[in-house]
Amino acid sequence: MVLVTTARKGHANIMTMSWHTMMEFEPPLIGCVISGRNASFDTLKATKQCVINIPTLELAKQVVGVGNCFGRTVDKFAKFGLTPVAAAQVEAPLIKECYASLNARWPIRGW
């Protein structure tokens, strides 16, 4: 499980994602499955960037909670006590409490 953060027009969101895999080392490619029915999908399609945050076991309750909330109506950072931190290469924030974070920016194939 990872937490994917996105941001658009001053609104940051978090989603829980379980369908992901490493696809290539050079260039580094990660394959992700994100439903077209959620807020993060719309933001990813528009901005073509996100952060893939790797949570620790201590964040298990927050990871489940984030996955059960609707991002268009809830500030998930506030609700689950997570801290947004500016990323170096994308507009989406990192999650301070996560073990590691990967900035992702790309031309999305097939869109």
How large is the average pLDDT for residues 8-17? 93
pLDDT at 109 over 60: no
Q: Is residue 73 classed as helix, strand or coil in its secondary structure?
A: coil
How large is the average pLDDT for residues 24-31? 82
Query: Greater confidence, 60 or 33?
Result: 60
pLDDT at 34 over 50: yes
CA distance 69 to 65: 7
Tell me, what's the pLDDT at 84? Answer: 97
Q: What angle do CA 17, 23, 25 make, to 5 degrees?
A: 120
Assigned CATH for 2-105: 2.30.110.10
Sign of the CA dihedral running 82, 57, 19, 88: positive
How large is the average pLDDT for residues 70-85? 91
Q: Which residues pair with 11 in a beta bridge?
A: 8
Query: Greater confidence, 89 or 28?
Result: 89
Q: Provide the residue ranges of all domains of the chain, joining segments of one domain with +.
A: 2-105
- What are the pLDDT digits (tens) for 40-53? 899 999 999 999 99
CA distances to 18, 51, 85, 93 from 80, rounded to whole Å, are: 19, 18, 15, 15
